[in-house]
A = this chain, B = another copy of it.
Amino acid sequence: MRRFVLFASHRNNLSRRYHSQNINQSQNCPLSSRFLSSSSSSSMASSKSSPAVTIDTINPKVKKCEYAVRGEIVILAQNLQQELQAKPGSHPFDEIIYCNIGNPQSLGQQPITFFREVLALCDHPSILDRSETQALFSADSIQRAWEILDHIPGGAAGAYSHSQGIKGLRDTIAAGIEARDGFPANPNDIFLTDGASPAVHMMMTLLIRSEKDGILCPIPQYPLYSASIALRGGTLVPYYLNEEMGWGLEISELKKQLEDAKAKGITVRALVVINPGNPTGQVLAEENQQDIVKFCKQEGLVLLADEVYQENVYVPEKKFNSFKKVSRSMGYSEEDISLVSFQSVSKGYYGECGKRGGYMEVTGFTPDIREQIYKMASVNLCSNISGQILASLVMSPPKVGDESYESYCAERDEILLSLARRAKTLEDALNTLEGITCNKAEGAMYLFPRIRLPENAIKAAEAAKCAPDSFYCRCLLNATGIVVVPGSGFGQVPGTWHFRCTILPQEDKIPAIVSLLTDFHRSFMDEYHG
């Protein structure tokens, strides 16, 4: 009977590599942090003067902030990868399979051709009227590049734009939102940002005055929210999604948590809803969304709607509805609800994470508040123009009759249908395993299975000074090379354990992953059933 090896082969390695590896220190598993600090103190032993900054004199909010998606487990994986490169055959697997992060193109997803054609042409417009260009690029990409450059004053895609983004691109995005929702959208409500994250930070900066200000966030949540709140010194007010009800969002839970927070002297400023859910994958029903909108209006909360997975819905019985559409359908106007919708070019079928494009649509704020948001955007001048262009493209892809239309649809559908199949295969496989239950990934890019661990495994984790889910994930990594993120990085009902696994490995790899997962899980359970 073999014990799963935790750390043994990586300890020295971690120490040795530390200086060349600036890595994230997680609070999860004290073993590695202990280790890192010893390395750090030795390196500064010969310091002549006391350093200007020490861990005890930095902003404590930074220390408090955590981001498990690129945390400790990923660092271990990177070390394993380097070991494999240096010494092939040194582990029971040949490659690391990164299922920790929603980063489709890193796992082989190809970009949408039309989008990349337009970006390339906007980067180098001097080839636009060359004859060779017509052989290399589709006619509609050339046409679109001309249109986009026409929107940019002087055609200067290398200039800072308006702080909210290029007006003509915001017009296109607003038209895309209108087409999606059937309700008007105002280009002056759009703030283009480098991915969705800076937009979330901007809203948190606006709303959070002190630790007495609270933000209602789902648990489990995407840790951008907890990190952003921690960095600004606010209080995360959790509301638990109901796992038994397919990660249902219950208004009674929102009310309860709001009242609890109020009783503690917390002023709750906003409600974060992630739809489709991350890490939980549920797609909200319209009636549920209506109740959420009502709740926000009644309680005077800003609704922060993370809608970056709006294109990622995999089940025919569910449909994405934007909160803006839902609230306008209810007859709610700007004066009834303050609503911010976040969108990104990193997700959907495009998965253009590296382009850092995104926007927020800001509605229901008075002009004086909008001005303050504008001012914050101005301090950073503008988001990157390629990301801005891409955000306009995803909200206005090729249309019937365009040269690229058919190939565009084929590329898009192949990606989305394949993601749906991958989600289903992984979900089914997980649900066959002893002690694992996994809700359907109706949308987004993740599965978030619950794992019920044998008492001995929990004791082993304790002995390793590790949370049980973290222990499980490390054992999985060490045995198979598969990287997933422990549920504790997202939050979970105390005493329950989960992990987040993306559905993004290419389809031809899924059977091998299922088999690795299955074999590992069986061995692990055999091991710890004792």
Q: Is there contact, CB below 8 Å, between A158 and B371? A: no
Give chain B residues whose Cβ lies under 8 Å from the Cβ of A63: 372
Chain A 119-143 interface residues, beta-carbon cutoff 8 Å to B: 119-121, 123-124, 126-127, 130, 132-133, 135-137
Bound form: Cα–Cα A126–B69 in Å = 31
By beta carbon, the residue of chain B nearest A43 is B367
Tell me the chain A residues, 13-60 only, with Cβ under 8 Å from chain B: 18-25, 36-37, 39-40, 43-44, 46-55, 57-60
* Also in contact, A367 and B160, with CB within 8 A (given A297-B49, A300-B52): no
In whole angstroms, what is the CA distance A65 to B206 when docked? 12
Are A353 and B158 also in contact (CB < 8 A) when A22-B371, A25-B371, A335-B47 are? yes
A224 and B55 within 8 A (CB): no
Interface check A374, CB cutoff 8 A: yes
B356 touches A384 (CB 8 A): yes
Q: How far is the CA of A161 from the CA of B101 in the complex (A)?
A: 11
- A344-392: which have CB < 8 Å to B? 346, 351-356, 364-376, 378-387
Minimum C-beta distance from A439 to chain B (A): 26
**Contact status of A156 and B55, CB under 8 A, knowing A368-B36, A378-B67:** no
Q: Select which of B50, B120, B197, B206 is within 8 A of A62 by beta carbon.
A: B206
Let me know if B371 and A65 touch, CB within 8 A. Answer: no
A157 to chain B, nearest CB (A): 6
Given contact pairs A49-B297, A106-B159, A297-B49, A194 touches B338 in the complex (Cβ within 8 A): no
Judging by beta carbons under 8 Å apart, are B367 and A381 in contact? no
A163 within 8 A of B: yes
The 8 A CB mask of A257-299 against B (1 = contact, 0 = none) is 0000000000001100000000000000000000000001100
A113, CB-defined interface residue at 8 Å: yes
Nearest-neighbour CB distance to chain B for A93, whole angstroms, equals 17
Q: A23: which B residues are within 8 A, CB to CB?
A: 371, 374
Q: Which residues of B lie under 8 Å from residue A123 when comparing CB positions? A: 116, 119-120, 123, 386
Query: Counting CB contacts under 8 A, is A301 at the interface?
Result: yes
Query: Number of contacting residues on A, CB 8 A?
Result: 126
Assembly CA distance A116 to B120 (angstroms):
9
Please report the C-alpha to C-alpha distance between residue A140 and residue B206 in the assembled complex, in whole angstroms.
47
- A198 contacts B by Cβ under 8 Å: yes
Residue on B nearest A233 in the bound complex, by CB: B233
Are B103's CB and A159's CB within 8 A?
yes
* 1/0 contact string of A449-477 vs chain B (CB within 8 Å): 00000000000000000000000000000
Check A269/B153 contact, CB under 8 A, given A159-B103, A160-B101, A384-B386.
no
Asked whether any CB of chain B lies closer than 8 Å to the CB of A241, the reply is no
Answer yes or no: A185 CB below 8 A from chain B CBs. Answer: no
Residue A318 interfacial (CB < 8 Å) = no
CB of A149 within 8 A of chain B?
no
Assess the A366–B59 pair: CB atoms within 8 A: no
Report if A367-B297 is in contact (Cβ < 8 Å); known contacts: A103-B159, A385-B355. no
Nearest-neighbour CB distance to chain B for A194, whole angstroms, equals 5
Cβ distance A516 to chain B, nearest Cβ, rounded Å? 20
Alpha-carbon distance A104/B67, docked complex (angstroms): 38
Residues of B within 8 Å of A355, CB to CB, are 158, 384-386
For chain A residues 157-207, which have a beta carbon within 8 Å of chain B?
157-161, 163-164, 186, 188, 194-195, 197-198, 201, 205-207
CB closest residue in chain B, given A187 = B20
B207:A58 contact, CB within 8 angstroms: yes
Q: Contact at B379–A54, with CB atoms within 8 Å?
A: no
CB-CB under 8 A from A336, the residues of chain B are 48-49
Bound complex: CA of A517 vs CA of B168, how far in Å? 33
Q: Which residues of B contact A52 (CB under 8 A)?
A: 269-270, 296, 300-302, 337-338, 364
Asked if A249 lies at the interface with its beta carbon under 8 angstroms from chain B, I say no
In the assembled complex, which residues on chain B have CB atoms less than 8 Å from the CB atom of A198?
380
Decide: B353 and A159 in contact? CB cutoff 8 A. Answer: yes
Q: How far is the CA of A133 from the CA of B137 in the complex (A)?
A: 11
A154 at the interface (CB under 8 A from B): yes
Is A246 among interface residues, defined by CB-CB distance under 8 A? Answer: no
A225 to chain B, nearest CB (A): 10
Answer whether A106 and B153 are a contact pair too, CB < 8 Å, given A136-B136, A375-B62: yes
Q: What would 6 A/B residue contacts be, using CB atoms closer than 8 Å? A: A37-B368, A47-B335, A53-B302, A55-B369, A197-B381, A198-B380
| Besides the known contacts A25-B371, A70-B381, 4 further A-B residue pairs in the complex with CB atoms under 8 A apart | A51-B365, A53-B207, A197-B381, A355-B385
